[in-house]
Structure 1
């Protein structure tokens, strides 16, 4: 699948730091949620379905993936 990401509005977490280890997410392309490396905005993006992305975010918020 190669969706057209030209209309994507990319957002970076407000908790991101300037260390270059950030991802950006576009949530305006429902039912797709592309995710990319902020250091390589022209590079590839991972594409998730809206439901899968929502479940991932919910699990993060519940602490299912503790920081190392």
Structure 2
């Protein structure tokens, strides 16, 4: 989805809380968001279209 994945700017997800291990990182781009494992960054990332990402966030807050 994202044409230039090396340009993604990842940040620690707020859902990771204050933990320093077992965290995920998130990067937003025009068509959606990407997620990767903080401890395994070289494994790549998953990308989600905006509609799917928004649905996931709303489902996790219920």
> Cα RMSD (Å) of the superposition?
1.8
Instruction: Using structure 1 for the length normalisation, give the TM-score.
Output: 0.73
- Structure 2 residues without counterparts, runs of 5 or longer: none
- Structure 1 residues without counterparts, runs of 5 or longer: 63-68
Instruction: Using structure 2 for the length normalisation, give the TM-score.
Output: 0.78
* C-alpha distance after superposition, 1:12-51 (max 9, x if no partner): 1341402x21111101x12031110001222221111111
Q: How many residues align?
A: 60
Structure 1 segments, 4+ long, off by >3 Å, are: none
Q: Which has the larger radius of gyration?
A: 1
Higher relative contact order (CA 8 A, sep 6+): 2
